[in-house]
């Protein structure tokens, strides 16, 4: 039994190890510093994880290093808002259009609809978070943490120093919230909404966690190891659609073209990506390019997609060496 297991695992493990070896000495990119706490990351951190929908796990490098989830949280809070509000009501508050603007841009908030473009940019994410239901801030935070725990399969915590660091310096996000309050796109206590947004961004995860979360999305919302339904499967299509079109900052179009699977990245250096019905893949490496995407992460995914053919439009043609590698007896 053990011998069979090893033989099944070997191709994908070898693949991850060769990618780690290929890019571990790459030194380009810079750490995010606009949230002071993020500048303390080690630029050498580099982890790769794959978790399949049938629960196989493959890891290389710094996969147990904790870091704050940042923008990747937007995917999961969007799923929660879909459950709380339903697709049509949520669409009235937050659109699904890619912007072509930086993630923290305010420019388009004052245009026609006053509706933030999509839930993957900060304005849309803050509006989405402001919709999360709960009697008071504690209940809303607890619901949000419970949601992350369903995806990850263990207790999760907010990194308080990063939360406070961002709350002290998040003036652009505060400005967006005020503009949206002015336009009636968000209601209620915006300081409480901002706190919840800064807290969701400061949830601590590892690269392994991101791969499990992505695998849960790949598996119609069901955690492949615990069997917990993390989100209603009716909303997986919506979540993956906005990840596909809006998940990679101003590289979203090129990502869709070159890599071709739904993904989300964050300024702490994580990228998670979903190969539907097959696996979740995560890379963690803090140095970022000018768009805010992990430099090593982009290289790894571009090589994986090119060499192993998991671009969605390759999958539809039945060509997927990645699937073959995962299933190899
Ligand atoms: N907490 C960060 C912010 O709102 C998240 C940015 C990101 O990861 O894109 O600025």
CA of 104 to the centre of ligand 1 (A): 8
Cα of 14 vs centre of ligand 1, distance in Å, is 33
Q: How far is the CA of 159 from the centre of ligand 1 (A)?
A: 14
Atom 4, ligand 1: which residue's CA is nearest?
122
Query: What pLDDT was estimated at residue 6?
Result: 43
Query: Is 267 assigned a catalytic role?
Result: yes
Centroid of ligand 1 to alpha carbon of 71 (angstroms): 5
242 in active site: no
Give which of 223, 221, 213, 231 is closest to 143, Cα–Cα: 231
What domains can you pick out in the chain, each with its CATH number?
6-68+205-326 (3.40.710.10), 71-201 (3.40.710.10)
In this structure, what are the phi and psi dihedrals at residue 149, rounded to the nearest 5 degrees? -65, -35
Strands (E), the chain: 47-52, 57-61, 67-68, 204-205, 263-265, 270-275, 279-284
Residue 236 in tokens: 């997986």
State whether the beta carbon of 209 lies less than 6 angstroms from ligand 1: no
With b meaning 16 or more CB within 10 Å and e meaning fewer, what string describes 65-103? bebbbbbbbbbbbbbbbbbebeeeebeebbbbebbeebb
The predicted structure's pLDDT at residue 322: 79
247 ligand 1 Cβ < 6 A: no
Give me ligand 1 centre to Cα 72, in Å.
Answer: 9
74 catalytically annotated: yes
User: Cα separation of 293 and 266, whole Å?
Assistant: 7
Tell me, what's the pLDDT at 113?
66
Torsion sign over Cα 116, 118, 124, 130: positive
Mutate to test the pocket of ligand 1, among 267, 286, 289, 290 (most ligand atoms within 8 A of CB): 267
The CB of 201 under 6 Å from ligand 1? The reply is yes
Rounded CA-CA distance 288/82 in Å is: 30
249 is an active site residue? yes
Active-site hit among 74, 156, 231, 235? 74
Atom of ligand 1 nearest to the CA of 166: 1
Using 70 as the pLDDT threshold, list the residues of the chain that sit under it.
1-10, 110-113, 315-319, 328-329
Residue 70 CB–ligand 1 contact under 6 Å: yes
Of ligand 1's atoms, which has the minimum distance to the CA of residue 249?
A: 9
Query: Which residues touch 178 (CB under 8 Å, ≥6 apart)?
Result: 190
Q: How far, in Å, is the centroid of ligand 1 from the Cα of 166?
A: 9
Element (H, E) at 73: helix 73-85
275 is catalytic: no
Which residue CA neighbors atom 2 of ligand 1 most closely?
Answer: 70
């Amino acid at each position: 039994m053990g011998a069979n297991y090893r033989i099944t695992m070997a191709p994908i493990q070898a693949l991850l190890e060769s990618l780690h070896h290929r890019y571990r000495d790459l030194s380009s990119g810079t750490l995010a510093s606009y949230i002071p706490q993020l500048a303390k990351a080690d630029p050498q951190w580099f982890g790769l994880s794959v978790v399949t929908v049938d629960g196989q796990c493959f890891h290389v490098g710094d996969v147990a290093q904790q870091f704050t989830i940042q923008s990747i949280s937007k995917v999961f809070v969007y799923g929660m808002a879909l459950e709380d509000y339903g697709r049509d009501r949520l669409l009235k508050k937050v659109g699904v259009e890619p912007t072509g603007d930086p993630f923290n841009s305010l420019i388009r908030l004052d245009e026609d609809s006053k509706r933030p473009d999509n839930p993957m940019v900060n304005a849309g994410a803050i509006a989405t978070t402001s919709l999360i239901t709960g009697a008071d801030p504690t209940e809303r935070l607890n619901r949000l943490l419970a949601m992350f725990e369903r995806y990850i399969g263990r207790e999760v915590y907010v990194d308080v120093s990063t939360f406070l660091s961002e709350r002290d310096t998040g003036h652009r996000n505060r400005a967006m919230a005020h503009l949206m309050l002015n336009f009636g796109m968000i209601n209620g206590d915006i300081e409480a909404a901002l706190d919840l947004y800064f807290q969701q961004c400061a949830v601590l995860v590892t690269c392994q966690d991101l791969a499990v979360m992505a695998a849960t999305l790949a598996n119609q919302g069901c955690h492949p190891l615990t069997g917990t339904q993390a989100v209603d499967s009716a909303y997986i299509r919506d979540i993956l659609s906005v990840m596909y079109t809006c998940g990679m900052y101003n590289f979203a179009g090129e990502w869709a073209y070159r890599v071709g699977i739904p993904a989300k990245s964050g300024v702490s250096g994580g990228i998670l990506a979903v190969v539907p019905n097959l696996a979740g893949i995560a890379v963690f490496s803090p140095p970022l390019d000018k768009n805010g995407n992990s430099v090593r992460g982009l290289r790894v995914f571009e090589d994986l997609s090119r060499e192993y053919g998991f671009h969605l439009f390759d999958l539809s043609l039945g060509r997927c060496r990645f699937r073959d590698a995962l299933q190899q007896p």
